[in-house]
């Protein structure tokens, strides 16, 4: 077993980056440990399984601490690779869990219990099938959704403190300004410290890769618009060092926000150009852009991202969607 390394964070005294294992292709999620006078804060503890629990035991040993020394847990958003261990850590430590009210709402919708999971297990496949997703792949999608349930339980149930934008959070001996954005995950919170120019940005801005933007039933109806609005706000901050949820810390935060904005404009143009004169389903466009050899995990994200871009094109009145057919089809405006 290869144990995760503790890497000191530039600009955060007593702050460490910890790479917690997760599935391919990302391979690890960045968790952050902030040491304060009254205990440790864990930001995004990672997915729950026996291996990640053992990784954290090793980290605590390296820091000379135990689970009981955790005073606070911050979750940037509800996805299992960030939220998963929060409830387990809380059970062991009685720590306060901080997340936005919207993020907690999304967690309850996706992972709130077996009944909730069963609802999403059927709702998401039905939504995808209406957009051309093959029926033969539905069992794989259902199994994938159920597999995620194990990574997030038990969930936080006590002392969940809603993170409010512009309400300073005192964590690790520092004052952090929460900034709530959407798109990748509704209610996503980044933590910004204006004095040092440090931001813990979760998956809102990633170096090298573009965060997945997903349209999901029952969630944000315009996720790409939300993401673009959030990028524009984040890009106005004076950031010296950005600590993301994946890959390595970086010092070109503003430039990265601009590159991501440009990327999505290019992707919108590509989707519009690929729409056939007779109309195209979201699944057909998904395969045209992302390829037909994706595993179910990546296919789920690719399908949701395709739909996020298509509804944005509809909002911009560059595409229209048929609502009378059993299978939804998209048509580019301006074509006969």
Q: Is pLDDT at 236 greater than 50 in this prediction?
A: yes
**Kind plus residue range of the DSSP H or E element containing 127:** helix 114-130
Place of tokens 């006590």: 158
- Mean predicted confidence (pLDDT) in 217-246: 97
Q: At what angle do helices 296-315 and 223-234 cross, to 10 degrees?
A: 80
Residue 320, phi then psi, degrees to nearest 5: -125, 155
For 183-210, the pLDDT digits (tens) are: 999 999 999 999 999 999 999 999 999 9
For 91-150, the pLDDT digits (tens) are: 999 999 999 999 999 998 888 754 444 467 889 999 999 999 999 999 999 998 888 888
Domains of the chain: residue spans and CATH: 6-111+148-263 (3.60.15.10)
For 10-50, the pLDDT digits (tens) are: 999 999 999 999 987 778 999 999 999 889 999 999 999 99
- The number of C-alpha atoms within 13 Å of 150 and in the hemisphere containing its C-beta is 7
- 2 token code pair: 């290869």
In the prediction, which pLDDT does 115 show? 42
Of the pLDDT bands very low, low, confident and very high (cuts 50, 70, 90), residue 157 is confident
Whole-number percent of the chain with pLDDT over 70: 96
**Kind plus residue range of the DSSP H or E element containing 192:** strand 188-193
Q: How far apart, in whole angstroms, are the C-alpha atoms of residue 242 and residue 239?
A: 7
Q: How far apart, in whole angstroms, are the C-alpha atoms of residue 243 and residue 256?
A: 13
């Amino acid at each position: 077993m290869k144990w995760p390394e503790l890497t000191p964070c530039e600009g955060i005294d007593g702050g460490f980056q910890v790479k917690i294992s997760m599935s391919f292709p990302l391979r690890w999620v960045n968790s952050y440990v902030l040491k304060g006078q009254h205990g440790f804060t864990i930001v995004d503890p990672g997915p729950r399984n026996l291996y990640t629990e053992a990784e954290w035991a090793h980290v605590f040993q390296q820091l000379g601490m135990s689970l009981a020394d955790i005073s606070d847990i911050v979750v940037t958003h509800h996805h299992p690779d960030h939220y998963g261990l929060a409830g387990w850590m809380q059970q062991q430590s009685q720590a306060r869990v901080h997340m936005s009210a919207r993020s907690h709402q999304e967690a309850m919708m996706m992972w709130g219990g077996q009944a909730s999971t069963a609802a999403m297990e059927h709702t998401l496949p039905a939504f995808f099938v209406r957009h051309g997703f093959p029926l033969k792949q539905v069992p794989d999608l259902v199994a994938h959704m159920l597999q995620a349930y194990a990574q997030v339980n038990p969930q936080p149930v006590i002392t969940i403190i809603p993170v409010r934008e512009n309400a300073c959070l005192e964590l690790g001996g520092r004052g952090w300004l929460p900034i709530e954005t959407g798109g990748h995950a509704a209610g996503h919170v980044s933590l910004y410290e204006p004095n040092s120019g440090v931001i813990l940005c979760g998956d809102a801005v990633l170096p090298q890769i573009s965060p997945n933007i997903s349209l999901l039933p029952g969630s944000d109806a315009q996720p790409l618009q939300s993401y673009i609005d959030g990028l524009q706000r984040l890009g106005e901050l004076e950031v010296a060092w950005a600590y993301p949820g994946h890959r390595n810390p970086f010092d070109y935060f503003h430039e990265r926000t601009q590159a991501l904005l440009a990327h999505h404009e290019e992707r919108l143009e590509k989707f519009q150009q690929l729409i056939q004169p007779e109309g195209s389903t979201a699944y057909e466009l998904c395969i045209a852009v992302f390829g037909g050899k994706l595993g179910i995990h990546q296919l789920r994200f690719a399908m949701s991202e395709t739909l996020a871009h298509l509804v944005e094109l509809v909002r911009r009145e560059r595409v229209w969607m048929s609502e009378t057919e059993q299978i939804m089809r998209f048509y580019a405006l301006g074509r006969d």
